[in-house]
Structure 1
Amino acid sequence: MSRLQGDREGDGARALVLAPGWVVGLESHRLNNHIAANLHYLVLGRQASEIGRVHAEMSSRKRAGKTDWFEHSGASRFFVAKGPELTLKDELYFGGSPRLLEPDLRVCFRDRPAGRSLDIPANEAMLAWFGRLLPLLRRSVSIEEVRAVCDEDQWSFVEQLEAEGLLEVVPLERPRPRTGYRVRLLGHAGLSLETPKARVLFDPMFIVRTREDVNLLHELDRPIDAVVLSHPHWDHFNFDTLVHIPRETRMIVPRLVNPSSLENVDMAPLLRELGFSRVETLAWWESTEVADVRITATPFHGEQSGPDAPQDWMTYHVRAGDRSFFGAVDSCHTTHHSMDTVMRDVRSRLGPVDILFSPYSGFHYPIALFTRRPFYLGPGMEQYSGGPDDAARWTSILGAKVLVPYAGFVWNKGDYQRPSDANHRGTLEQLRAIVKAHPLGPLVVLEPEKDAFEWSGPGGELLVPSSSQAKEARR
Structure 2
Amino acid sequence: MTQTHESGPAPTTTAPGAPGTPAPFAPPSPPLAGPRPLGEHRVWPRTFHDRLTAPLPGLRATARFAREGAVRPGPDGLADLPRLPYEPAPLPRVGTRTLAVTWAGHASWVVRIGGLTVLTDPVWSRRILGTPARITPVGVPWDSLPRVDAVVISHNHYDHLDAPTLRRLPRHTPVFVPAGLGRWFHRRRFTRVTELDWWEGAELSGVRFDFVPAHHWSKRTLTDTCHSLWGGWVLTDAEGQRLYFAGDTGYGHWFSRIGRRYPGIDLALMPVGAYDPRWWLSDVHCDPEEAVRATRDLGARRMAPMHWGTFVLSAEPVLEPLTRSRAAWQQAGLDRENLWDLPVGASRVLD
- Give the aligned length: 248
Name the structure 2 match of 1:404: 304
Name the structure 2 match of 1:227: 151
Name the CA shift for 1:193/1:385 in 2 (closer, same or farther; >3 Å): same
Residue 170 of structure 2 aligns to a residue whose secondary structure is: coil
Question: What is the percent sequence identity of the aligned residues?
Answer: 25
Pick from 439, 442, 459: which aligns with 2:333? 439
- Which digits, 9 at most, give the CA deviation of each residue in 1:44-94, with x for residues without a partner? xxxxxxxxxxxxxxxxxxxxxxxxxxxxxxxxxxxxxx997999xxxxxxx
1:216 shift after superposition: 4.1
Name the CA shift for 1:85/1:190 in 2 (closer, same or farther; >3 Å): closer
Name the structure 2 match of 1:360: 272
Which protein, 1 or 2, shows the higher relative CO under an 8 Å CA cutoff with sep ≥ 6?
A: 2
1-structure distance, mates of 2:120, 2:321:
23
Higher strand share: 1
Name the structure 1 match of 2:263: 351
Name the CA shift for 1:424/1:278 in 2 (closer, same or farther; >3 Å): same
1-structure distance, mates of 2:286, 2:324:
13
Pick from 159, 164, 173: which aligns with 1:240? 164
1-structure distance, mates of 2:349, 2:265:
14
Name the CA shift for 1:365/1:404 in 2 (closer, same or farther; >3 Å): same
What is the RMSD of the two structures over their aligned residues, measured on CA atoms? 3.3
Name the structure 1 match of 2:195: 281
Name the structure 1 match of 2:130: none
Stretches (4+) displaced over 3 A: 82-87, 176-180, 211-217, 308-311, 420-426
Pick from 259, 271, 291: which aligns with 2:205? 291
- Which digits, 9 at most, give the CA deviation of each residue in 1:212-261, with x for residues without a partner? 943745256421121111100111111120110010011110013xxxxx
Name the CA shift for 1:178/1:309 in 2 (closer, same or farther; >3 Å): closer
Higher helix share: 1
User: Is this contact kept in 2: 1:284–1:298, CA < 8 A?
Assistant: yes
Give ranges in structure 2 of 5+ residues lacking alignment: 1-57, 64-92, 128-132, 220-224
Residue 272 of structure 2 aligns to a residue whose secondary structure is: coil
Name the CA shift for 1:400/1:271 in 2 (closer, same or farther; >3 Å): same
- Which digits, 9 at most, give the CA deviation of each residue in 1:146-201, with x for residues without a partner? xxxxxxxxxxxxxxxxxxxxxxxxxxxxxx99554222222211122224542211
User: Is this contact kept in 2: 1:388–1:430, CA < 8 A?
Assistant: yes
- Which digits, 9 at most, give the CA deviation of each residue in 1:323-344, with x for residues without a partner? 1121122200xxxxxx432111
1-structure distance, mates of 2:59, 2:151:
46
Give ranges in structure 1 of 5+ residues lacking alignment: 1-81, 88-175, 257-266, 333-338, 367-379, 455-462, 464-475
User: Is this contact kept in 2: 1:396–1:440, CA < 8 A?
Assistant: no
TM-score, with structure 1 as normaliser: 0.47
1:362 shift after superposition: 4.7
Name the structure 2 match of 1:184: 102
1-structure distance, mates of 2:59, 2:112:
55
